[in-house]
C-alpha cells in the first residue's frame, strides 16, 4: 500500500513590506524544494497576508520510512534557506 507524507511549513516574514516581498521568499522556497527533493509543493494559506505563509510539501512512496526520510530532508533544506523565517513544521502521514 502506498504511503503519503505531508510536511507543512509555517513562515513568518517580519521584514516583508508587500506581497511582492513575500512572493520572493515563497517562490524561491518552492522552486528549491521541488528541484532538490522532487516533492509537490504549494502555498496553502495566507496568500493575501504580507508577513505570513503556509506551504505544504507532499511525497508519495511505497513505505512510510521513505516518506519520512524525504520530508526530513525537505525540512532541513527549508530551514537552511529560510533561517528564522521558518517558525513551525508539522508532519502528517496517511
Inform me whether the pLDDT recorded for 42 exceeds 90. Answer: yes
For the chain, the helix, strand and coil percentages under 3-state DSSP, each to the nearest 5: 45, 35, 20
- Separation of alpha carbons 31 and 23, rounded Å: 12
Domain ranges of the chain: 3-93
Task: Give pLDDT, residue 1.
Answer: 83
Could you name the CATH architecture of 3-93? 2-Layer Sandwich (3.30)
Q: What is the SS3 assignment for 64?
A: helix
Please report where in the chains the cell 505544504 appears, as a residue: 56
Task: Give pLDDT, residue 29.
Answer: 97
C-alpha distances in angstroms, 34 versus 1, 17, 63, 79, 91? 24, 26, 20, 15, 18
Average pLDDT over residues 52-78: 97
The pTM is what? Answer: 0.94
pLDDT band per the 50, 70, 90 thresholds, residue 67: very high
Amino acid at each position: 500500500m502506498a504511503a503519503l507524507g505531508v510536511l507543512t511549513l509555517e513562515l513568518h516574514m517580519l521584514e516583508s513590506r508587500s506581497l511582492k516581498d513575500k512572493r520572493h521568499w515563497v517562490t524561491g522556497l518552492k522552486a528549491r524544494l521541488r528541484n532538490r527533493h522532487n516533492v509537490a509543493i504549494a502555498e496553502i494559506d495566507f496568500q493575501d497576508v504580507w508577513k505570513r505563509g503556509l506551504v505544504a510539501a507532499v511525497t508519495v512512496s511505497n513505505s512510510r520510512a521513505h516518506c519520512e526520510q524525504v520530508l526530513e530532508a525537505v525540512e532541513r533544506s527549508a530551514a537552511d534557506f529560510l533561517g528564522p523565517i521558518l517558525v513551525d513544521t508539522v508532519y502528517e502521514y496517511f
